[in-house]
């Protein structure tokens, strides 16, 4: 297993290089000049030319790409054109908020999806099954930004139960504050993250619920389930300890993909709820043609997604002894 993990980690190098090249090529095709955007409409051609020269934008594309890889090999992602700060520093300041939002959304999606999937499978063909799958269909069909706006309108504007925008204290800090006698900090943090996490989790919860239902129905027809009932085991124990445990194996492989989807959806959700993560930074960097910052964010997303998938693959092999990593 260790050799497999090392090989997968080594494969991150060409994958990251490919992501940088693709992102670089796409941004070259986008119309607009960062120097012109930075200087504004009043800039003269000489001013624009001088700024392009100072930023290295007048060099051929292959020279700029080579220089970027040379700096990246030394751990330097470059400097943001517009914010004039190291890209790694800007990403580090926002990455925690995005990872926090994606992890909470994944936990909610897993909890809601598993619960609805098990209930639907146990009540196959009933009104509960139909209603559950209808909710799943709505979750799959509804865009994340529309779900976010509906949640904001309902729980923030109409009911005034939860804050519409912003972020409370980071969850780790909030838990620490709760342990030191300040539970209101944790409550405020949870209230701020609940709406964006629910909006982000809706699609993944729908996918997981449908997968869990299908897997449960297959497992419930297996011989070992009938044997468990024949031994006199009660239904809750059979469902939770035997059926659900085996039905969750396919779900593990989906969780890694869903985390990548959540990272992508966070870009829109952060804009809607003014969540100070990488999503807001990404949209601003793209609109300003800030190539070093866009490349750094893309590389960060790709590496995070790849590492999560590696962890899921290893967990899958631990849970199911039949799987051999090689």
141-148 contacts at long range (C-beta below 8 A, 24 or more positions apart): 142/202, 142/203, 144/199, 144/200, 144/202, 144/203, 144/265, 144/268, 144/269, 145/268, 145/269, 145/272, 147/198, 147/199, 147/202, 148/195, 148/196, 148/199, 148/268, 148/269, 148/272, 148/273
Task: Name 228's Cβ contacts closer than 8 Å, sequence gap at least 6.
Answer: 238, 242
Cα–Cα distance, 302 to 259 (Å, whole number): 11
Topology of the domain comprising 101-319? MetI-like fold (1.10.3720)
SS3 324: coil
Q: Yes or no: say if 252 and 287 are a contact pair by the CB < 8 Å rule.
A: no
Q: What is the pLDDT of residues 275-296, one digit of tens each?
A: 888 888 888 888 777 888 888 8
pLDDT at residue number 237: 74
Q: At which residue do the structure tokens 């239902």 appear?
A: 213
What is the rounded distance in angstroms from the CA atom of residue 289 to the CA atom of residue 305? 24
Express each pLDDT in 245-259 by its tens digit: 777 777 777 777 777
Handedness of CA 236, 237, 238, 244 (dihedral sign): positive
Residue with the larger pLDDT of the pair 91 and 299: 91
pLDDT over 60 (residue 11): yes
Please report how many Cα atoms fall inside a 13 Å half-sphere around the Cα of residue 284, on the Cβ side: 17
pLDDT in tens, 118-155: 888 888 778 888 888 888 888 888 888 888 889 889 88
Confidence of residue 54 (pLDDT cuts 50, 70, 90): confident
Q: pLDDT tens digit string along 203-262?
A: 888 988 888 888 888 877 777 777 777 777 777 777 777 677 777 777 777 777 777 788
Q: CA 111, CA 114: separation in Å to the nearest integer?
A: 5
Residue 79, phi-psi category: left (phi > 0), alpha (psi -120 to 50), beta (remainder): beta
pLDDT at 323 exceeding the cut of 60? no
- Give the pTM: 0.80
| CA within 13 Å, CB half, 239 | 15
CA distance 190 to 184: 10
Say which residue the tokens 């085996």 belong to: 246
Spatial CA neighbour of 212 closest among 130, 291, 281, 115: 115
């Amino acid at each position: 297993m260790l050799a497999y993990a090392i090989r997968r980690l080594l494969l991150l190098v060409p994958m990251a290089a490919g992501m940088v090249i693709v992102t670089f090529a796409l941004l070259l095709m986008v119309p607009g000049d960062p120097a012109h955007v930075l200087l504004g409409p009043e800039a003269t051609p000489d001013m624009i030319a001088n700024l392009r020269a100072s930023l290295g934008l007048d060099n051929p594309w292959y020279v700029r790409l080579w220089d970027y890889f040379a700096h990246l090999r030394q751990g330097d992602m470059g400097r943001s054109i517009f914010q004039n700060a190291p890209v790694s520093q800007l990403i580090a300041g926002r990455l925690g908020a995005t990872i926090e939002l994606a992890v909470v959304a994944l936990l909610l999606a897993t909890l809601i999806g598993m619960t609805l999937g098990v209930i639907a499978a146990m009540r196959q063909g009933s009104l509960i099954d139909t209603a559950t799958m209808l909710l799943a269909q709505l979750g799959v069909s509804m865009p994340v930004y529309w779900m976010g706006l509906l949640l904001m309108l309902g729980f923030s504007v109409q009911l005034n139960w939860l804050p519409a925008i912003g972020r409370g204290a980071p969850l780790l800090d909030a838990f620490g504050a709760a342990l030191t006698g300040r539970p209101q900090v944790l409550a405020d943090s949870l209230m701020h993250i609940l709406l964006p996490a629910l909006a982000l989790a809706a699609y993944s919860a729908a996918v997981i619920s449908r997968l869990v239902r299908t897997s449960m129905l297959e497992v419930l027809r297996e011989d070992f389930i009938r044997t468990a009932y024949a031994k006199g085991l009660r239904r809750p124990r059979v469902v939770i300890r035997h059926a659900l445990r085996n039905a969750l194996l396919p779900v593990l492989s989906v969780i890694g993909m869903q985390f990548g989807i959540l990272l992508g959806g966070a870009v829109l959700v952060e804009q809607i709820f003014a969540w100070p993560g990488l999503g807001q930074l990404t949209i601003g960097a793209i609109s300003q043609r800030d190539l070093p910052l866009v490349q750094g964010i893309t590389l960060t997303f790709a590496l995070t997604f790849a590492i999560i998938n590696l962890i899921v693959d290893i967990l899958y092999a631990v849970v199911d002894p039949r799987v051999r990593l090689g």
